Amino acid sequence: MQTRPMTQTDAQLMPPKPSRTASLQEHIDRATQDLIASCRDPERLSPEERRGIIARYSAVLEGNFIYWMTAAYLSVGSAEAHAIIQDNLLEEVRDNHPGMLRRFAIAAHAVPTDSDALSVYRHLENVRRFVGQLSAVKIVLMMAFFEGFITRFMPYLADLAKRQGSSEYEYTDVHGVCDVVHTQELFRALEAEMTLSPDPLEPPAKLLKGVELLRTLIQRILHPRLEDPSAEPVVTTVTGGS
């Protein structure tokens, strides 16, 4: 049977092509909601527990966010994803977001200590190793999840800081707004990278590897005493003595 060429009207009548990122975005939304729902009522936390959450959050974010976003920049291949991630990095650097977070932690008397850093060390290292693989789609997915979580987490983080006697909210105010746009932009970058990827794409469980590692790290920030079945002892170097 001979087929006639598709007209513009035919194309308009066709159902819209389902977005390839829709199911991944749903997974990420659920993961974010679960994390937020797991946050304990700030009123029922001790001052030390509140300080610990702010300190571990700072220990993870201050020195790593720009580094991981840079890894995303280095790994992507499309002009669109490059432009989107570059805008994100420009804002981080130009507006000194690490400095903003440090001021937030200082004002809440929650600058990370050695033990705060140690309590997230192993899970942080897992994310760093993953990021080092420079796998474009997986890192962009992870960063989209990170941005979305940060936005949703800001009111809780600000509440913790307020209860610790702080009135410094520049970090939480800025990130509660700008990261909504950043998340949407990163999903656009993801679409562009998926279009470049060789078909077929890896199964969702593999694409979400970075999301899962980051989710475990954030759980550690929120619930440091949570049972961790995969835990291995952290090896530390003991100096002195014999």
Residues interacting with Fe ion, by CB under 5 A?
Answer: 97
Q: Are 24 and 187 in contact (CB under 8 A)?
A: no
State which residue, 157 or 207, has the beta carbon closest to Fe ion: 157
Question: What are the phi and psi torsion angles at 149 (to 5°)?
Answer: -65, -45
Q: Is 68 in contact with 139 (CB distance < 8 Å)?
A: yes
Q: Which is nearer to Fe ion, 64 or 119 (CB)?
A: 64
Q: Which of 189, 183, 207, 188 shows the shortest CA–CA distance to 76? A: 189
Q: How far is the CB of 139 from Fe ion (least distance, A)?
A: 17
Q: With respect to Fe ion, which residue has the nearer C-beta, 56 or 97?
A: 97
Q: State the nearest-atom distance from the C-beta of 100 to Fe ion, in Å.
A: 7
- Tell me how far, at minimum, the Cβ of 85 lies from Fe ion, in Å: 13
Least distance CB 207 / Fe ion (angstroms): 24
Report the residue number, 135 or 151, with the smaller CB distance to Fe ion.
151
Tokens, residue 195: 């279009």
Cα angle vertex 83, ends 186, 173, to 5°? 55
**Could you give the CA distance from residue 81 to residue 85 in angstroms, rounded to a whole number?**
6
d(CA 52, CA 110): 7
User: 50 or 97, CB closer to Fe ion?
Assistant: 97
Task: Report in angstroms how near the CB of residue 175 gets to Fe ion at its nearest.
Answer: 6
For Fe ion, the nearest residue by Cβ is: 97
| Closest approach of Fe ion to the CB of residue 140, in Å | 17
Helix or strand or coil: residue 201?
coil
Q: Which is nearer to Fe ion, 141 or 143 (CB)?
A: 143
Tokens (6 digits) for 123: 């899970």
Under 8 Å between Cβ of 118 and 234: yes
CA–CA separation, 44 and 24 (whole Å): 34
